[in-house]
Structure 1
Amino acid sequence: MTKPYTERHSVPLTLLTAALVLFASAAYAQSAARETRGNLVIEGIPPHSTRALGTLDGWLAGRGASFQDFLPDGSILITTRFGDADQIHHVARPGTARTQLTFDIDPAGGVSVSPAAESRVFLFARDRGGNENAQLYLQNLDTRQTTRLTDGRSRHGGALWSRDGRRVAFQSNARNGVNQDVYIAEIDGGSGPRLVVASQGQTWTPLDWSTDGQRLLLLDYSSVTDASLYVAEITTGALIRVPLSGDPAKPSPQSGIGSARFSADGQGVWFTADLSGEFHQICYVDLADGGLRTLTSELSWDVEDFEVSAEGRWLAYVANTDGFSELFIADLGTGVTVRSTGLPAGIISNLRFDRQGKTLGMSIESSQSPRDAWTYDVEKAAATRWTRSEMGLIDPTQLVAAEVFRYPTWDRIGRTPRQIPALMHKPAKSGRHPVVIDIHGGPEGQSRPGYSPFGQYLVNELGYAVIQPNVRGSTGYGRRFTMLDNGRLREDSVRDIGALLVWIAAQPDLDADRVVVMGGSYGGYMVLASLIAYGDRLKGGINVVGISNFVTFLTNTSGYRRDLRRVEYGDERDPSMRAFLRRISPLEKASMIRRPLLVVQGLNDPRVPASESEQLVAKIREQGGEVWYLAAKDEGHGFRKKTNRDFYLKTAVTFLERLAAP
């Protein structure tokens, strides 16, 4: 997430200087000569400002570390960056040095260690240039030999070891480039992966192996509010739908499903779903009689992740409480659940138990600390921090904590105005601060209090206040809230930005005359739509890999994603819906974008193709508008490599400095 934050301008602009800046930027926008620098394509972007070149590097020099898995001896594997991209490292004990295991120009992730006794073989995934056609690899930690498991060209994911470590199940579109099928690869076999379950329109993801290795637990995902669970027989491929109604004679209700695991005895399934109301709860279904019970019925927030220890005694889960994570440990033997202690407030992810089932690994980050690897002893209720990620030249005492607030929007629930949740990062200095509104993607995403050195730079160095609204359609606030922007309700979420602008104008410490909007992916669409609807109240916008035309987006997005996105946005093959999608598409109203715009795009993006940005840039320039354009040949849906990301952020700082000038 790219966060904007802050207030002051340490080098005041005279009227003459301001006029020269405006003239120079306009000249760049008009000429728009295309320049290639390595993997970067640059159009209409002036030289980076003195401040962007002089101070930003120190803020971006840090890194984070993500917990991945345990090795048999209790040491851990993490991903962290040395050089340009995240790679896999080994950490022997808490606080000790990190030993790099993978070396490549593209990042590695999705790490899992073989569960075979004393095995030091791990699985990982890597794509090329952000194309998301991830390949699966095995590495032997002792010999450092790496072997590719998959075909080298298709998309693969959801890889799971069988309990004996002899096989790996995964999803892949290798059969036709569109359908997400389930395959199994024999680790020591000479033959290639074997197709086990072929999609007939489903989007399959393997979630767990049974203890005996004869069954797979599969998720069929249609949308964030509509998914189903199945059990597949490995030898025959036969599928049995898991009943979720509590009565096998009744059909399962439509619900969103997060994750699922077989119980230790194989007689049932633990899973998260919003079966009983607004929020995802942990439930258990008996596979024999369909009996259903809920473990977390007292929670009024989503359970976003859980993990069960191998012997089945402990169940750890994370509740998303207004964006902040809370870790709970349930003793399934005694029925006692306790909230964890000793962990910092922030976001918890990547839960995984060790082989003994007593230590839980995880990643933790907050708005004031980068992501690091932690473990938690569930019997002793003791937390241990394994890594301490560097923060570059940042003074930790300067870092601003995220504040949760809510603002009234344009519609009502009964007689009360609907409230939109949001995060605020605000400079400590007094005065009226310019504002960046940072809108998340998804649209089923959520802005949360994570670590952003760029955001902290904007708060501390440029004096911006950064607001991250969770407009309708966001997850984390209940099923109904998530569905409020579906289909023909799309523009209702844009009106939530209009309501936020009204709220900003009423705040004595925010400058309503200096507001910039930015966002990525669907958030990029929201940037464009906001500039069209509220351009008179905005100074400009930053659109990162955003949708400019819903019809061309749905036509050109990767085939494996197309039907999934039609559920959210509407089916462009229907003439009425096609007309609606065209009407709300920013490309159709490009002449109304009269404020400066920075467009950022990965040229290998399989989700929002580069054509979405290219056609927008051309149309705005044709209409006489000002647009800065930055693209990367070795990136996809966002910039993952440090050199590319640093150049983008220096461009963004230069852009924001100009827009914030009084």
Structure 2
Amino acid sequence: MQRLAKPLLFAACASLAIAGVAAPAAADHHGETMTATSTTTQAAPMIPRDSLFGNPTRAGGQISPDGKWVSWLAPNDGVLNVWVAPADDPDAARLITSADDRPIRSYFWAPDSKSVLYIQDKGGDENFLLYGIDVESGTETTLTPFENTRVMMIGGSTRIKDKVLVGLNNRDPRLHDVYMLNLNTGELDLVLENAGYAGFMADDNLDLRFAIRQNAAGGMDMFKVVDGVVEDTPSDSTTMEDSLSTGAAGFTNDGKIIYWLDSRGRNTAALIAENVETGEKTIVAESDKADIGGILTDRKTGYVEAYSVNYLKNEWTATDPEIKASLDWLGTQLDGEYGVQSRTEDDRTWLVWNDPVTAPASSYVYDRDANTLTKFYTSRPELAGAPLQPMHPLEIESRDGMTLVSYLTLPPGSDSDGDGVPDEAVPMVMLVHGGPWARDGYGYNSYHQWLANRGYAVLSVNFRGSTGLGKDFINAANLEWSGAMHDDLIDAKNWAVERGVAREDGVAIMGGSYGGYATLVGLTYTPDEFACGVDIVGPSNLETLLETIPPYWEPMVKQFHTRMGDPNTPEGLQLLKDASPLYKADQITKPLLIGQGANDPRVKQAESDQIVSAMQESGIPVTYVLFPDEGHGFAKPTNNIAFNAVTENFLATCLGGRAEPIGDTVAGSTAQIVTGAEYVKGLSAE
């Protein structure tokens, strides 16, 4: 499975010090590159950035519902596009899309197998439109031909194969109206005009069954939809405490059972089946360690066949004997992590992903009748034989007794006995996930492998507020931005130092979105804890962040106010200001690198501009890289590689790891070096 890194903010749904310190003293942190990598790491081959962050050879493989076609993403003239081939002749591939600028990163098959659908925005603005390509003729149609519109997929069907339900916010940017879309003609028929709902749920008959709206407490109300009319009184509700860990997971195809992932009356979300007619609920699966995560359902009936629990690793349990036999057999054939990425309508053929972690990921065609496994592709064959390192799942205890599920990767050759502790302490990068309502997990991670290869331990921590680990863990983060959420990162850093993993004075903090915010918090609120920081599309001012959220998030804004601070009250506004790194910019004494997309709809460019200006006014050095054609993260490989080239040379200066020269990567991207080129080796020449 090809994992594409993506910063998130509000997911589930990311300087001179005090007066008297002279500018040259702060600038000294940007001096000559230190030498800190071990001899064994230096001896390991340097994995090229292009191999880690360039286009995959293939990714995102799928099989059409009728089993006649296979498809995948692969570059054409350097841009990811969709390719299709007959399932019985994968070598007879043809290109069916024509993206020539931004990569296509999400596509799927129409239920009738006649067309391939994909979404695409412009310059990272996240106004995703839906496009369809007729597989036989190659004709492409813009199925949602509107400006400044973001499509939302609401429902598909196993029986009505030429239509889907979509939401469009072209009437009101805050609200998605529901339309029936004919995938073959492009005809759009209005089903329901949205009167203030955050989302909808449909059954296999493509009938709307529920409208979902946030309630005054910050939870969610579910209103039944009967004959196209939303009832006035909610039939089900959650409190704010359960709102991120409870939700409907879908109907059986006959509409008689609705499945819930439900934490109400418990901590971790259980999988619950509710009889729609009687209201009787039955627990299908539960875990005291983590929420029930994914489910696998019967293609014909919609009944659950397997479920997953993701604690240290993601583990599947089958409730159906035939599915269990198939998953067990795959476990005897594949090393490492594996799972189902695509299935035919008759469920006799699967595309299966396999992630060995220390070897490139591959996909296979699994014929369940013949019990054969045929290699489909390897995503990044250039990584075969590269010194990829194992990932160590960890449990770290916070200062108040919470368990922080974390993941550690060590530099090659640094851990001779393989116990997860290097022979001697090494520099470390704390890599903080976005969201914050998301989580890190086990498996191949290009950033872990890259940074470990450059000589650093890499630690990813599921700090409180991370999802999937129970509602108590999520809610422990409420109103704790820059507080207990950050304390968890400091506790994990101290654990690494005390255990002999990291050097006390050699830890960097880095992340995207919320992870970028955490980086800014680290350098402002705890300026002596980290040697340097890399902030990618991170907010610096929580007040202005909430003022500029995308309009289609407004139906969920109560959630943000309850968990972060309500700017409409004096107390809440003060909380937001107290948790905003912008107001402590003059506390920064360590090197800072910032990357920003100019079109970011979640974390506006002003979030980076503000803190850079504040630092400049105080004479504090900062390096700021702006991409005029990117949004919330860097989608184009040339831009991503360019920023990572700057990053690894920045880290080499701070921590002493090794780095590939920047070379022509920045010049070959759209990067604008707004300020601070002189603080990164090889950048000023650009």
1:426 corresponds to 2:410: yes
**Distance in 2 between residues matched to 1:245 and 1:546, nearest whole Å:** 33
Partner of 1:269: 258
1:182 corresponds to 2:172: no
1:126 corresponds to 2:120: yes
**Distance in 2 between residues matched to 1:487 and 1:22, nearest whole Å:** 35
- With over 3 angstroms needed to count, the CA separation of the structure-2 counterparts of 1:651 and 1:549, relative to structure 1, is same
Deviation at 1:164, TM superposition (A): 1.7
- State whether residues 89 and 102 of structure 1, in contact with CA within 8 Å, keep that contact through their aligned partners in structure 2: yes
Match of 2:133 among 124, 139, 144: 139
Aligned amino acid, residue 165 of structure 1: K
**Distance in 2 between residues matched to 1:167 and 1:466, nearest whole Å:** 46
**Distance in 1 between residues matched to 2:544 and 2:432, nearest whole Å:** 22
Deviation at 1:560, TM superposition (A): 1.7
Further displaced range: 191-200 or 424-433: 191-200
Aligned amino acid, residue 183 of structure 1: Y
Partner of 1:414: none
Q: Residues 471-550 of structure 1 correspond to what in structure 2 (within 5 A)?
A: 471-488=463-480, 491-550=483-542
**Distance in 2 between residues matched to 1:240 and 1:210, nearest whole Å:** 24
- State whether residues 115 and 135 of structure 2, in contact with CA within 8 Å, keep that contact through their aligned partners in structure 1: yes
Deviation at 1:397, TM superposition (A): 5.4
1:210 corresponds to 2:204: yes
- With over 3 angstroms needed to count, the CA separation of the structure-2 counterparts of 1:95 and 1:493, relative to structure 1, is farther
- State whether residues 291 and 468 of structure 2, in contact with CA within 8 Å, keep that contact through their aligned partners in structure 1: yes
Deviation at 1:359, TM superposition (A): 3.9
Partner of 2:586: 591
1:389 corresponds to 2:379: yes
- With over 3 angstroms needed to count, the CA separation of the structure-2 counterparts of 1:646 and 1:443, relative to structure 1, is same
Deviation at 1:485, TM superposition (A): 0.8
1:101 corresponds to 2:91: no
1:445 corresponds to 2:438: yes
**Distance in 1 between residues matched to 2:519 and 2:365, nearest whole Å:** 39
Match of 2:330 among 342, 359, 362: 342
- With over 3 angstroms needed to count, the CA separation of the structure-2 counterparts of 1:298 and 1:178, relative to structure 1, is closer
Q: Residues 115-514 of structure 1 correspond to what in structure 2 (within 5 A)?
A: 115-116=111-112, 119-150=113-144, 151-158=146-153, 160-162=155-157, 163-187=159-183, 192-200=188-196, 202-206=197-201, 208-211=202-205, 213-216=206-209, 220=213, 226-227=219-220, 229=222, 231-233=224-226, 236-239=228-231, 256-257=245-246, 260-275=249-264, 277-297=266-286, 300-312=289-301, 315-331=304-320, 340-343=328-331, 351-361=341-351, 363-365=353-355, 367-374=357-364, 385-392=375-382, 394-396=383-385, 398-411=387-400, 417-427=401-411, 428-429=413-414, 430-460=423-453, 462-488=454-480, 491-514=483-506
Deviation at 1:91, TM superposition (A): 4.6
**Distance in 1 between residues matched to 2:62 and 2:186, nearest whole Å:** 28
- With over 3 angstroms needed to count, the CA separation of the structure-2 counterparts of 1:489 and 1:518, relative to structure 1, is closer
Deviation at 1:431, TM superposition (A): 3.2
Deviation at 1:269, TM superposition (A): 1.5
Partner of 2:13: none
The RMSD of aligned alpha carbons is: 3.7
**Distance in 1 between residues matched to 2:368 and 2:218, nearest whole Å:** 32
Deviation at 1:583, TM superposition (A): 1.3
Aligned amino acid, residue 77 of structure 1: S
Deviation at 1:367, TM superposition (A): 3.4
Q: Secondary structure at the match of 2:172?
A: coil
Q: Secondary structure at the match of 1:646?
A: helix
Deviation at 1:186, TM superposition (A): 3.3
Further displaced range: 135-144 or 96-105: 96-105
Q: Where is the strand percentage greater, Structure 1 or Structure 2?
A: 1
Q: Secondary structure at the match of 1:536?
A: coil
**Distance in 2 between residues matched to 1:95 and 1:598, nearest whole Å:** 48
Deviation at 1:605, TM superposition (A): 0.7
Deviation at 1:388, TM superposition (A): 1.4
Deviation at 1:309, TM superposition (A): 2.3
- State whether residues 540 and 595 of structure 1, in contact with CA within 8 Å, keep that contact through their aligned partners in structure 2: yes
Partner of 2:612: 617
Aligned amino acid, residue 564 of structure 2: Y
**Distance in 2 between residues matched to 1:331 and 1:196, nearest whole Å:** 37
**Distance in 2 between residues matched to 1:108 and 1:2, nearest whole Å:** 14
Q: Secondary structure at the match of 2:545?
A: helix
- State whether residues 363 and 371 of structure 1, in contact with CA within 8 Å, keep that contact through their aligned partners in structure 2: yes
Partner of 1:635: 630
Paired residue total: 605
**Distance in 2 between residues matched to 1:20 and 1:549, nearest whole Å:** 27
- With over 3 angstroms needed to count, the CA separation of the structure-2 counterparts of 1:348 and 1:570, relative to structure 1, is farther
Aligned amino acid, residue 455 of structure 1: H
**Distance in 2 between residues matched to 1:52 and 1:646, nearest whole Å:** 19
**Distance in 2 between residues matched to 1:281 and 1:546, nearest whole Å:** 33
Normalising by structure 2, we get a TM-score of 0.79
Aligned amino acid, residue 301 of structure 2: G
Q: Residues 599-610 of structure 1 correspond to what in structure 2 (within 5 A)?
A: 599-610=594-605
Aligned amino acid, residue 389 of structure 1: S
- With over 3 angstroms needed to count, the CA separation of the structure-2 counterparts of 1:381 and 1:269, relative to structure 1, is farther
Q: Secondary structure at the match of 1:435?
A: strand
Aligned amino acid, residue 169 of structure 2: N
- With over 3 angstroms needed to count, the CA separation of the structure-2 counterparts of 1:475 and 1:24, relative to structure 1, is closer
Further displaced range: 316-325 or 90-99: 90-99
Q: Secondary structure at the match of 2:132?
A: strand
- State whether residues 126 and 134 of structure 1, in contact with CA within 8 Å, keep that contact through their aligned partners in structure 2: yes
Deviation at 1:308, TM superposition (A): 2.0
Partner of 1:657: 652
Deviation at 1:261, TM superposition (A): 2.2
Q: Secondary structure at the match of 2:631?
A: coil
Partner of 1:579: 574
Aligned amino acid, residue 452 of structure 2: V
- State whether residues 545 and 608 of structure 1, in contact with CA within 8 Å, keep that contact through their aligned partners in structure 2: yes
Gaps in structure 2 of 5+ consecutive residues? 7-23, 33-43, 415-422, 658-686
Deviation at 1:183, TM superposition (A): 2.3
Q: Secondary structure at the match of 1:386?
A: strand
**Distance in 2 between residues matched to 1:403 and 1:94, nearest whole Å:** 40
